[in-house]
Structure 1
Amino acid sequence: MAEIHGTWDPRFDRVAELLQTNFASGGEVGASLYVSIDGEAVIDLWGGWKDEDHSSPWEEDTIVNVFSGSKTVTSLAVLILADRGMIDLDAPVADYWPEFAQNGKQKATVRHLISHSVGLPAWEPPFSIDEAMDIGASTARLAAQKPWWEPGTRASYHASSFGHLNGELVRRVTGRSLGQFIAEEIAGPLQADFYLGLTDAQFPIVATVYPATDEGGPKVPKAATAPADPDDGLAVERELSQRTRLGSFSGQKRDALALFNSPQWRRTQFGGSTGHANARGLGRIMTVIANGGVSRGRRLLSPVTIAEIFREQFAGIDSYYMKPIHWGTGYALAPVATQEKGPLPFLRPGKRTAYWYGTGGALSIADAERGMAVSYVMNRCQSGRASLNGAYYTAIYDALERPRAAP
C-alpha cells in the first residue's frame, strides 16, 4: 500500500488520513498536498506512484503537469514586473508590444490582458494544437486579431490563449522567455519546484498524467450548436463559448494520454498550461500573495500590488464555463458573501481569496485573509463529483474552524 510522506500539523490529521485513504482505495495514483499559514508550512505531504503500474514511487521532488494551474504563476510574473515599475497595469499593451495595437486593440490594457477581459479568448477558428506549438506564429496571429468584444467590457476565460499573450508581454519587457523569467525571478529565489519548459534531463522526475475522460480536456459544458434563441438572455455567452472551443487547442479531441506525456508538450512554454510542479512548489509561490508579498524570506510583491489582485474586474457569467466567475487582476476571486456554483463550487466565500485550478483538479489558492496558501497536484485527473480536490479543501477549512485541543 502506498504510504504518505512528509509532515503536517496535528490539527490537520483528518487531511492526512483522507489523502492516505485515497491512496489505499485507488482514488489517487500519486499526489502532493501543501498548505502554508503566515509563510510556514503546516501541511507538506506526498505519496503514491508516478504511474498506474506502480513501478516508480512518487518522491519528494516528483513533478507533474498542473495544466491551468500554470496561469497563477504566469500572472505573478506580470505582477512582479508591475511591482518593479517595468509595467503599468493600466497602460496599453501596445506600449510594450507595438504589434498588439492592430484591429482595434490600441487601448487594450495590461490589466485586461491578465484578467481574461481583453477579448481574445481563442484564435479565430479553426485552430489546432500544432499551430499553437509554433508560439511565435500563433502569438503574432493573436496580435493581429480583432477582439471579440471591446476590451474591458466583459470577461471570458482565455483557456488556451492566456499563456501566449502574457508570455509575449513578459518577453517584450524583459527580453527573456516566460519560462526563463519564472525560473530566475520566482521559482529559483523561492526554491519552488515549478518549471515552464522542461529539459530532457528532468523527464525522470515527471509523473505520468492520466486523463479523466477519453479526450482528456477540461470538463466544461458543451458549446451550443443550435441557432441562437433571440429570447435567450445568454445568447451572446453561448455564441462566444462555441467560438472559443472551435478556436482553442484546450477543447479539442485528441489522444490526451499521448499528448500530455509527450516530450514536445513537456518542453513547450505555454504559460497557461504546460507548467510542471509539485504542491510544495506551487504553494511556495502562492504564499507570496497569501503572506503579504513574502515567501521564504523573499519579498516579490508589495502590499500595494497585492491589493490590485483583489480589485474585481468582472463579475457574472463567464462564457467559457457558462458559470459565474469573479475575475480580479490576474486571478479568479472567491465570492465575498455566499457560495456560488462557479468553477470550484466548494470554494468558501472570502474577502481576499485569489485562485485558479488546472484540468483534473490541481489547486492553486491564496487566502490572504487567513494568510494561507493551499495547493494540490495529482497525476490521475478527476472531474465532476469524482474530484478529490474539494474533499481536501473542505477538510483543511474544517480543521481551521475546529477549536484547537488544549496542550
Structure 2
Amino acid sequence: MSTLPEGIRGTADPLFAGTARVFARLFDSYLRTGGALSVYLRGEPVVRIWTGTADDAGAVPWEFETTALSFSTTKGVTALVIHRLVDRGLLDYDTPVAEYWPEFGVGGKHSITVRDLLAHRAGLSDLRPLVHGAADVLDHELMEQRLAAATPDWTRGLPVYHALTYGWLLGGLARAVTGSSMAELFRTELAEPLGLSGLHLGAPADGTPVAELVGPGVSATGTGLGRPITAAVIRLPLVGTILNTMHFTGAQDALRGPAPALSHSENGAATGVFSADAIARVYGVIANGGEFEGVRLLSPRIARGLDRYTRTNPDPSRLAFWQLGYHPLPTLGAPRGFGHLGLGGSGGWADPVSGLSVGFVHNRLDMFRLPMDMSLLSLVLPSIARAAGVADAGPGAVRAA
C-alpha cells in the first residue's frame, strides 16, 4: 500500500499513488468538503480513499461507508437494473413499452420502445405538463401514472435529456414486468447479489451514514434574485427546453436541510444515495463482462452491448448520446470508457477494455460553480488510466488495496 497524502484516509496500491495525490489536491484546494473515490482494476480494489467531513458544520468525519445523494449518477444504476431484466427475457430493447405497460400506450406513445426510454428519445422530458408542485415530484407512483397518460412533445425521437422523467419512466416499466418498485429492484437485483451496503434509491432506512449537502448554491434559485432569473431563463428557447426537464416549483426547498425531501423520494433518475465503493463495484459488472467478484449479473452478450458505440443499436445513423443509459466521458489521457455523471460531479465510470471501474462521490452542491464541478471526475481519470497502463505492463504489478 502507498503512503497517502495528508488528510486522506483509506488505501491505494502504490501504482495509483498519483491518483491519491490528484484526489487530495482536488479537495484541499477546490472542494473543501468531503468525499470518496474507489477504483477497481479487473475486479481488484486498487484505490479506496476518502477525506473531509460529511456535514455543513464540518464536525462529522467522512467514512468509508458514508453515502451521498448522487443525483443523475443514479441513472446508470437504474439502467443496469433494466439490462438485468432484458437479460432474463422480461424485456426486449426494441419492443414497444406499451406491450409491457398497457397504460402507457395512449397519447401517441404506442411506438416508443424500451431502447427509446434508455436513450432519452421518448419526448417526455418536459416537467411543466406533469408537475404542479414539489409534492408531485416526491410521489413516484403518481408520476409514473401521469407519464403513462401523457402525450410526447416535438422532441420525440431526439436525444433530449430526460433529467427527472427518466427515472419514473423506467420505474413504471420495471414495475409493470416485476411488480416491484425501482427501490426494491436496486436491492434485489444489485445490492444483495453484490453484497453492497451503500446502494440505495432514496434515503437508506438501515442507519447508513448520509452526507449533508453543502454549498451556497443549494438554495440559489429560491433567493429573491434567483427566482426571477430562473423564471426568465426557462423561457429561452433552447436553454429553457433543457431547464424545464429539471426545474419545478419548490425545487430549492426539496434540497434544503441535512435530510432533504428529495432524498426521501424514489426516482431512478436522481435520488440514488450511494457510497463511492458501491458505485465502483456496480460499474465493475460492466467493466468485467457482466461478472464481478464471482457474481454474474449480466451475460457476456448483454455486457458487450453497453459500450459507448452501442453495437446493439439497429440504426447507427441516429443520434444516441446516452446509448443504452450511459454516456461517453472522453478525457485527455483517458479517451475510452463510459458511465454517468450526476449534478455536482459525482459519477460512475467503466472501461471494459482495461477492466477499470470507478466510483466518485462528494457532498458539495454549488450551483455557481456547477460547470467546473461537473468535470471533477475527468480530472481524476487520466491518473487512473495511466496507472492501469503501467499495471498491464507486467504480471502481478497490482495488489489488492
Taking structure 1 as the reference length, what is the TM-score of the superposition? 0.82
Give the partner amino acid of 1:140: Q
Alpha-carbon shift at residue 154 of structure 1 (Å): 1.7
Alpha-carbon shift at residue 79 of structure 1 (Å): 0.4
Aligned to 1:393: 381
Is 1:75 aligned to 2:73, yes or no?
Answer: no
Q: Which runs of 5+ in 1 are unaligned?
A: 229-237, 319-324, 340-344
Look up the SS of the partner of 1:34 in the other structure: strand
Is 1:115 aligned to 2:111, yes or no?
Answer: no
Distance 1:317 1:379, change over 3 A: farther
Work out which of the residue numbers 349, 358, 377 in structure 1 matches 2:335: 349
Alpha-carbon shift at residue 122 of structure 1 (Å): 2.4
Aligned to 2:275: 278
Look up the SS of the partner of 2:262 in the other structure: helix
Alpha-carbon shift at residue 188 of structure 1 (Å): 1.4
Look up the SS of the partner of 2:54 in the other structure: coil
Work out which of the residue numbers 300, 303, 307 in structure 2 matches 1:306: 303
Output one character per residue of 1:72-121: Cα deviation in whole Å (capped at 9) or x when no partner.
11000000000011111111101111011111111111111111111111
Q: Does the Cα contact within 8 Å between 2:234 and 2:244 map onto a contact in 1?
A: no
Percent identity of paired positions between Structure 1 and Structure 2: 32
Q: Which runs of 5+ in 2 are unaligned?
A: 222-229
Is 1:43 aligned to 2:30, yes or no?
Answer: no
Alpha-carbon shift at residue 249 of structure 1 (Å): 3.7
Work out which of the residue numbers 373, 378, 381 in structure 1 matches 2:365: 381
Alpha-carbon shift at residue 137 of structure 1 (Å): 2.2
Q: Give the total of aligned pairs.
A: 372
Aligned to 1:131: 136
Q: Does the Cα contact within 8 Å between 1:2 and 1:47 map onto a contact in 2?
A: no
Deviates more, 1:372-381 or 1:78-87: 372-381
Aligned to 2:243: 245
Aligned to 1:254: 252
Work out which of the residue numbers 319, 323, 331 in structure 2 matches 1:328: 323
- Structure 2 CA distance, aligned partners of 1:245 and 1:166? 21
Q: Does the Cα contact within 8 Å between 2:70 and 2:271 map onto a contact in 1?
A: yes
Alpha-carbon shift at residue 245 of structure 1 (Å): 2.6
Alpha-carbon shift at residue 402 of structure 1 (Å): 5.5
Q: Does the Cα contact within 8 Å between 1:125 and 1:247 map onto a contact in 2?
A: no
Aligned to 2:203: 198
Match runs of 1:167-206 below 5 Å: 167-192=171-196, 193-202=198-207, 205-206=209-210
The RMSD of aligned alpha carbons is 3.1
Is 1:359 aligned to 2:346, yes or no?
Answer: no
Taking structure 2 as the reference length, what is the TM-score of the superposition? 0.83
Work out which of the residue numbers 237, 261, 266 in structure 1 matches 2:263: 266
Distance 1:301 1:315, change over 3 A: same
Aligned to 1:369: 353
- Structure 2 CA distance, aligned partners of 1:380 and 1:330? 25
Alpha-carbon shift at residue 256 of structure 1 (Å): 6.3
Q: Does the Cα contact within 8 Å between 1:68 and 1:359 map onto a contact in 2?
A: yes
Aligned to 2:226: none
